[in-house]
Structure 1
Amino acid sequence: MSTLPSALAEIVDDFAAVGASDKLTLLLEFSRELPPLPAELEQSAMEPVPECQSPLFLSVDDSDRDNVRLYFSAPPEAPTTRGFASILAQGLDGHSADEILGVPDDFYSALGLAEAVSPLRLRGMSAMLARIKRHLRG
């Protein structure tokens, strides 16, 4: 996937390098690495993503279009949702709006999680990316 920002491409490569049984383990590792919200950002000011099966909130700060900041909030008891949010945070945070808008809507299929995660859960990741892009298109 040549249109992926380098950080997101590395994550996709990490998932491609492990077998099916280890993909969920890797996703759980990402869930533990979801960055905390900055103190000045309250969840109530964030946009909910109702397509996710667990409560997920996101915030997009594109005041500097060359350095878009992404923030996610998901409860610890929702490791799949947190894992997806962490993948997007680690793969896209700090990239330009143009780079993020260039990410294919179905990039997550390259993670190879379809056998391990329900289509409803994958739809949640798709919805997160769609909302980020909608915000950037403003």
Structure 2
Amino acid sequence: MTVSPQTIPEPLAEIIDDFQAVTEAERLQLLLEFSRELPELPERFAGHPELLEQVVECQSPLFLTLELGDNPDQDVQIYFSAPPEAPTTRGFASVLHEGLNGLPAQQILAVPDDIAEHLGLTRAITPLRIRGMSAMLFRIKRLISEARQLRAAST
């Protein structure tokens, strides 16, 4: 599947290319490899669930939060928390983290909502899990939009 370079940031496009370069069965293995690479939460978030938002659409407990720089178009830092015994959920979170973390807000907001389809995972995993990944991306975009609106209202 060809993705548009105008809407897919380069780090995420590279991940999509990696998934597209392997067979469907190998994509699951690649997702599991990503699950082992999800960074731990920074100390300031660890033990503070009230600072994170749960993505209830995920079959496993997944929480996320993000931080924007002083300028709303500056880089966005994304943080996830998912248990090790939830490799699919962790894998999705890790793909989004590696593909989006540190990018400007506008680039993240432009990412297509059907990212799981671009990864070629829609036949390899259940629709409920696809819904969870889509919900993660939706939450990230919503949190960015809300933060930008708050900043605009306060200036």
TM-score > 0.5, shorter chain as reference: yes
What residue number does 1:38 align with?
42
1:137 aligns with 2:141: no
What residue number does 1:50 align with?
56
Distance 1:122 1:114 in 2: 7
Q: Give the TM-score, by structure 2 length.
A: 0.86
4+ residue runs of structure 1 moved beyond 2 angstroms? Answer: none
Distance 2:59 2:135 in 1: 11
What residue number does 1:4 align with?
8
Distance 1:78 1:52 in 2: 10
What residue number does 1:96 align with?
104
AA aligned to 1:9 is: A
Work out which of the two has the higher radius of gyration on C-alpha atoms and give 1 or 2.
Answer: 2
What residue number does 2:94 align with?
86
Q: Tell me how large the CA RMSD over aligned residues is.
A: 0.9
1:6-49 deviation line (CA, Å, top 9, x unaligned): 00000000000001110000000000000111111135121000
| Residue segments in structure 1 that go unaligned for 5+ positions in a row | none
Equivalences, count: 138
Distance 1:52 1:22 in 2: 22
Give percent identity, aligned residues only: 59
How far residue 63 of structure 1 moved from its aligned partner, in angstroms, is: 3.0
| Residue segments in structure 2 that go unaligned for 5+ positions in a row | 147-155
What residue number does 1:70 align with?
78
Q: Give the TM-score, by structure 1 length.
A: 0.97
